[in-house]
Amino acid sequence: MATKKKPKAKAKAAVKKAAVKKAAKKVVKLKAGKPLAAAASNGLPRPSAKPWGAAGRALDGVKILDFTHVQSGPTCTQLLAYMGADVMKVERPGVGDITRGQLRDVKGQDSLYFTMLNGSKRSITIDSKNPKGKEILERLVKYCDVLVENFAPGALDRMGLTWDYIHKTNPRMIVASVKGFGPGPYEDCKVYENVAQCAGGSASTTGFRDGPPLVTGAQIGDSGTGLHLALGIVSALYQRIRTGRGQKVLCAMQDGVLNLARVKLRDQQRLAHGPLAEYSQFGEGIPFGKAVPRAGNDSGGGQPGWILKCKGWESDPDAYIYFITQAPVWGAICDLIGKPEWKTDADYATPPARLPRLRQIFDTIEQWTKTKTKFEVMEICNQHDIPVGPILSMKELAEEPSLRATGTVVEVDHPTRGPYLTVGNPIKLSDSIPDVRRSPLLGEHTDEVLREVLRYSDKEIAAIKASGAISASEKKAEAA
């Protein structure tokens, strides 16, 4: 065991050392100017004198009626909750978000699929098709600032929650939706992650040229679109300060994926003017077709890159590093790998000369990386400003102390399933410190919201309970 731990400790030190070196670069110091006079403050209050992080959270006071489920919508509302919004997730009595029961790791308990996407929210159960349930929802529509949903097309309308109804009931309300496709031939389709990756141009450009299209592990269709939606919501909240009215925010998953794959649309247009020289197929003399091809591990930018084996690759599937042959550090690369003559050799000295030889160049660099662990390569290369990226496994990320320290990976406790790891807020605000809390149990906050938020009396709550609007009939609960 002890011998196993040593390289890990060394690896951590390696990453740290590289980071320290970067921080030591020269910093320009500017003399602070005088702030503008109050008259020029754009209507903003005086800057708070409270310590950083003590002035509340960015979205304090924003109330979200959360009708999201599965992944795309919940990603968005969890982020808003981390930013301080009060997110009240409406779930079907006795059933809840379908992911509560999907991919379960602990028998009978909420799955990690659910818990990792619904932290820091409240859960209220309401049957939106029950007349009393509709009444509660109307109060919530009047009370909240934003309704977020990612139902199949038409489902919200079938509940009676049409834009016209919502806008008349609460003209300030923002209605934010994720759908698979925007208006057009596919607008009525139900869409899941991989459908979006395929329809948004990611799959056709991912994988190796001689293999089938590939989907990526990162959930760019679901979580990616959730992130887009969150930006749409905060923008609409900001605009509402001026206009006083809400608006519809729509993020189609196809659009979100295409936005993330925009470099490939760039290349599609470049293709009209000739072959894409930085794609390794160019160097291999393979002609291009009419559409952007899959480019394996080629870099998406102008600097050639590839994934190379490192020490231990024979037994460790993640002993690899991404290596970028950035032009300004070409000399340093040549020295490191023992090919100083390439610095002046006309076949290697310039980026255009290297393009037809990339395969051979990366094979040669790999002979060097194979003699070092990925962390050693990281350490050595960073000393020379050579951009490299170790292939980190989920195990390594889960155990990485620096990610715990920054709150990017957080362990939270859960009353029925025990502690679990979740991803905290990846967006760091210096004056808004996220409160990453566990996900709620199904309907955990129904009473609290009815009583404290919507101000129902005891008598009214008793009538609501008797109506079946917030609790499942035995039959429904069993079916779940």
Helices and strands (DSSP H and E) totals, the chain: 20, 11
With CA atoms as reference, report the closest residue to 122 among 66, 68, 80: 66
The residue annotated as part of the active site, out of 66, 86, 145, 222, is 222
Return the residues of window 202-241 that contact ligand CAO according to CB under 6 A: 222
Q: Per rule CB under 6 A, is residue 78 in the interface with ligand CAO?
A: no
Strand 86-91 to 122-125 pairing: parallel
Q: What is the DSSP string of 89-122?
A: EEE-TTT--GGGGTT-SSTTS--HHHHTTSTT-E
Q: Write down the least CB distance from residue 328 to ligand CAO, Å.
A: 42
Span interacting with ligand CAO, options 57-65, 147-155, 340-348, 389-397, rule CB under 6 A:
147-155
Of 215 and 365, which CB lies nearer to ligand CAO in the complex structure? 215
Q: Per rule CB under 6 A, is residue 71 in the interface with ligand CAO?
A: yes
Q: Which residues contact 294 (CB under 8 A, 6 or more apart)?
A: 204, 205, 206, 207, 208, 209, 211, 213, 214
Among 65, 81, 90, 220, interactor with ligand CAO by CB under 6 A: 90
Q: Per rule CB under 6 A, is residue 140 in the interface with ligand CAO?
A: no
**222 catalytic per annotation:** yes
Question: Phi and psi (nearest 5°) for 313?
Answer: -60, -25
Of 70 and 319, which CB lies nearer to ligand CAO in the complex structure? 70
Q: Per rule CB under 6 A, is residue 127 in the interface with ligand CAO?
A: yes
The alpha helices in 59-190, defined as continuous H runs, are: 72-82, 112-115, 131-143, 155-158, 163-169
Span interacting with ligand CAO, options 122-130, 205-213, 234-242, 301-309, rule CB under 6 A:
122-130
With CA atoms as reference, report the closest residue to 377 among 313, 287, 431: 313
Among 77, 120, 150, 223, interactor with ligand CAO by CB under 6 A: 150
Among 65, 146, 148, 178, interactor with ligand CAO by CB under 6 A: 178
Q: Which residues contact 81 (CB under 8 A, 6 or more apart)?
A: 64, 87, 119, 120, 121
Q: Write down the least CB distance from residue 135 to ligand CAO, Å.
A: 14
Span interacting with ligand CAO, options 116-124, 148-156, 200-208, 273-281, rule CB under 6 A:
148-156
Residue numbers at the binding site for ligand CAO (CB under 6 A)? 70-73, 90, 92, 126-129, 150-152, 155, 158-159, 178-180, 190-193, 222
